[in-house]
Structures are given as C-alpha cells and as structure tokens.
Amino acid sequence: MLTVSQVSKSFAGRVLFEDVSLQVNRGDRLGLVGPNGAGKSTLFSLLLGEASPDAGKVSPEKNITIRFLPQEPAAAGADWSKSFYQVLTEQAGKDAWPISGATFILVYKVPEKPVNVANALKFFDWAYANGDKMADELEYVPLPAAVKELVRKSWASNIRDVSGKAIAWK
C-alpha cells in the first residue's frame, strides 16, 4: 500500500531521519511515538505528499487515501490540577503550545511488568527535562513546567507495583 525507500529529511540544519525504509501493507496498524521535535509530523507530511524528502522516495499505491490528525494548540491556561482531560482550543502566541495524542501516557496503575513501565516513564521524564530546548529551536511553545510537575506527581501517586510501592523512574 505504501513504500518508503531510503528517505532522509533535515529541518533547520538538524537531521530528523536518515535512510529510512519501510513498507505498510493492507491491514497493518502502526503507531508512531517520539518526543516533540523528533520528526513525527514531518514524516507524516512526507507520507501525505505535503513535503518532499531530501533524499529517497515515498510511493503510495494508486487509489489509497492517507489521513493525518495534525497537532493542534491547546489551552496553556487550563486548570490541569482538576483533570488531565482538556478540550483543545486554538490560542495564539505564548498562551498556546502543541499537544498531540503521543503526549498522553497510558499505563496500568498496577502494571504486570513494572520494569517496562519504569523504563517508559524514564523516557518521558527525560523528554520533559530536555524537551524545552528543542521546542525553542523548533519555535514551539514548551509544555508548561506546572503541567510536567502534575504529570510526575500523578505517576508517583498512582502507579504502583503489586506490593503497593511506587514505581521509581528517576
């Protein structure tokens, strides 16, 4: 259905991906997860034909349609302490920041494999700690520190091993 052959792409002098090849066949279900600025939206832009690769080729079969739900700004001024569920609205400038489905982390409160959950949380904690610099470079508005702290507190109070001990991610 879709073939990506030796595709490379850079943005603002930074290599996002290099020599990427993949094939998506009918019935395949794929998920693309990564920190802000990793090139997820850029890859989808290439797949949709909205942008061209620096090298390589994207070849969709005839008569297929590719759809993508783009990142939308979210209300930075929302009261995140009441709920992580927020209605996303468009706000300009300093009051907005990008958020997408990949931002959300879903894990069991008592996971079957705590070490796997700890590793995932370590990755997101690293992304939260290091993402602001990359967001600035890409002219994104960074995720507010208060929201990152609320997420970390939620991990500490809600995610436990079978003995009831909080899962350490630091």
Residue 147's domain spans which residues? 72-158
Q: Is 122 part of any domain?
A: yes
- The answer to whether residues 52 and 85 belong to one domain is no
Q: How many domains does the chain have?
A: 2
110 is a domain residue: yes
Which pLDDT score is estimated for 26? Answer: 79
- The b/e string for 43-75 (b: 16+ C-beta within 10 A; e otherwise) is bbbbbeeebebeebebebeeeeeeeeeebebbb
Regarding whether 77 and 56 lie in a shared domain, the answer is no
* Residue 50 placed within a domain: yes
pLDDT tens, the chain, 170 aa long: 889 999 999 877 888 889 999 998 877 777 777 777 778 878 888 888 888 999 999 998 887 767 665 554 444 556 666 665 555 545 555 555 554 433 556 778 888 889 988 988 898 888 888 888 877 776 666 777 877 888 888 889 888 999 999 998 88
Strand stretches in the chain, DSSP E: 2-11, 14-24, 55-60, 72-75, 96-99
